[in-house]
């Protein structure tokens, strides 16, 4: 099979909706940059994707890959200066968010589109009670009075598992643990029944038991309300149990995208393979080692016109240093930004591949003895966007 780039090389992930109607969100050619004294940081560089109602799109990658900046761009929360959305379209419900006035954006932010922010420690206002912070959105967007908003806030706190919600509603953020603050953030994001939920590391501050409960809650609410979810995470285990499709980002680009089943079973980009090989497994032997990805992510200032993964790639050739590959269609709905995608396999021994291309072996390996996989790593039966039903139960096997 020969992969063929299409006319707009970096807009390849936007594919047919397969009869499921119009996308809830359609991002086209998004570029977000930060203008610093050292140069222009291309945080999000020509990113295109879509999400359907009721679908979960998992966005994975290392820190600095552009995941969170993509979410903040959709919310129009890029700090300006020094950041700016320099080009592209963010079509939500048929309207371009980038072209909206500030008042129009405020009318949908927290209402039709909500975001669970990554750091609950700094995302809550320390001088306002929990009731004030959640009720404000309910009064603004849902037109509730104070009494109705308070009652609804208590319901939301119960829903995310905060005990004694009737008493804790009048407390301040510093009186909550990190995990409890994260639950408050989730309650706040879900308060107005959003059509699109952007969850940026929603379970970072939670232990694995509570993590499973929160992910389960998100799936139940998604089924009940047909909410589209963009799940931003470092954890391949989390997206395995939650996402319909996965989008792998590196250096501000989408380097691979496809269904969850296809990405896990048949990855076609070396970076995706590296992420999968770095997952600890409970069935591994005590002597088995994790295979780290060599090197460090690149500096996003003035990146050369070549594949940004070249310095860390075991498959790199001269062609990779001459031109940044477009997203190539390697299968139905499966795209990879790799010139040599046909050679990439999750079963490859990375040390052998490196030796074959005269590359130095990684300087160290990681022993994962007694390290456990997070809940949600089974991908034998991934959810499909076209499935007639979606189970709200989180698979933790």
* Helices H / strands E in the chain, number of each: 13, 14
Distance, CA of 211 to chain centre: 16
Higher pLDDT, 240 or 366: 240
Q: According to the model, what pLDDT value does residue 221 have?
A: 76
pLDDT band at 350; cut points 50, 70, 90? low
The shares of helix, strand and coil residues in the chain, as percent rounded to the nearest 5, are 30, 20, 45
C-alpha pair distances (Å), 200 with each of 204, 225, 367: 9, 20, 29
- Residues above pLDDT 70, as percent of the chain: 82
Q: Mean pLDDT in the chain?
A: 81
Residue found by looking up tokens 């001459």 in the block = 322
Give the other-Cβ count within 10 Å of 323's Cβ: 11
Q: Band of the pLDDT at 366, cuts 50, 70, 90? A: very low
Q: For 270-280, how does the pLDDT look when each residue is reduced to its tens digit (9 = 90+)?
A: 999 999 888 87
Q: Is the pLDDT of residue 136 over 60?
A: yes
Specify whether the CB–CB gap between 78 and 90 falls below 8 A: no
pLDDT at 345 over 70: yes
Alpha carbons within 13 angstroms on the beta-carbon side of residue 41 total 16
Residue 352 pLDDT grade (very low, low, confident, very high; cuts 50, 70, 90) = low
Peptide linkage before 100 cis (omega within 30 of 0): no
pLDDT of 131 over the 50 cut:
yes
* Range 233-250 average pLDDT: 91
Contact 138, 157 (CB under 8 A): no
Find the range with the poorest average confidence among 79-83, 95-99, 330-334, 392-396. 392-396
More confident residue, 303 or 395: 303
Residue with tokens 């295109």: 48
> What confidence tier does 7 reach under pLDDT thresholds 50, 70, 90?
very low
Contact by Cβ (8 Å): 88, 30: yes
Whether 383 has a pLDDT exceeding 70, the answer reads no
**Contact (Cβ atoms closer than 8 angstroms) between residue 391 and residue 349:** no
**What is the rounded CA–CA span in Å between residue 192 and residue 138?**
7
For the segment 118-142, the average pLDDT, to the nearest whole number, is: 89
For residue range 274-315, list pLDDT tens digits in order: 998 888 777 777 777 778 888 889 989 878 889 999 999 988
Question: How confident is the model at residue 355, as a pLDDT?
Answer: 55
Q: How far is CA 296 from CA 213, 343, 368, in A?
A: 34, 23, 21
How far apart CA 211 and CA 161 sit, in angstroms, is 11
Return the percentage of the chain with pLDDT > 90, whole number: 51
Q: What is the C-alpha to C-alpha distance for residues 27 and 50, in angstroms, rounded to an integer?
A: 6
Alpha helices of 75-226 — where are they, by DSSP H? 102-108, 120-123, 130-141, 146-159, 165-168, 178-190, 208-225
Write out the two tokens for 97.
Answer: 């968010």
């Amino acid at each position: 099979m020969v992969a063929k780039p299409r006319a707009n090389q970096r807009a390849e992930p936007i594919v047919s909706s397969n009869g499921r109607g119009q996308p809830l969100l359609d991002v086209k050619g998004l570029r977000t940059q930060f203008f610093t004294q050292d140069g222009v940081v291309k945080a999000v560089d020509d990113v295109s994707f879509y999400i359907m109602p009721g679908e979960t799109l998992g966005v994975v990658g290392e820190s600095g890959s552009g995941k969170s900046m993509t979410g903040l761009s959709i919310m129009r929360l890029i700090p300006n200066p020094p950041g700016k959305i320099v080009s592209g379209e963010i079509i939500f419900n048929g309207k371009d968010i980038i072209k909206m006035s500030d008042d129009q954006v405020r009318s949908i932010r927290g209402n039709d589109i909500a975001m669970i922010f990554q750091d609950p420690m700094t995302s809550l206002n320390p001088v306002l009670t929990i009731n004030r912070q959640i009720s404000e959105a309910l009064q603004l967007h849902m037109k509730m009075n104070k009494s109705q908003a308070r009652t609804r806030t208590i319901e939301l706190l119960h829903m995310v598992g905060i005990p004694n919600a009737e008493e804790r509603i009048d407390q301040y953020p510093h009186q909550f643990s990190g995990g409890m603050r994260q639950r408050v953030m989730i309650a706040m994001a879900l308060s107005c029944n959003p059509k699109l939920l952007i969850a940026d590391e929603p379970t970072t501050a939670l232990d694995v038991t509570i993590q499973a409960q929160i992910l389960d809650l998100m799936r139940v609410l998604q089924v009940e309300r047909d909410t589209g979810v963009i799940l931003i995470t470092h954890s391949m285990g989390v997206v395995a149990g939650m996402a319909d499709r996965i989008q792998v980002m590196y250096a501000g680009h989408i380097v691979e995208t496809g269904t969850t089943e296809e990405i896990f079973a048949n990855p076609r980009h070396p970076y995706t393979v590296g992420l999968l090989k770095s997952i600890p497994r409970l069935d591994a032997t005590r002597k088995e080692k994790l295979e780290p990805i060599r090197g460090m992510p690149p500096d996003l200032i003035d990146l050369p016109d070549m594949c940004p993964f070249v310095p860390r790639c075991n498959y790199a050739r001269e062609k990779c240093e001459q031109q940044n590959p477009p997203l190539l269609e390697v299968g139905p709905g499966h795209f990879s930004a790799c010139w040599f995608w046909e050679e990439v396999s999750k079963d490859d021994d990375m040390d052998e591949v490196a030796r074959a291309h005269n590359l130095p072996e990684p300087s160290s390996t990681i022993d994962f003895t007694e390290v456990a996989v997070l809940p949600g790593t089974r991908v034998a039966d991934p959810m499909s966007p076209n499935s007639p039903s979606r189970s709200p139960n989180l698979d933790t096997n």
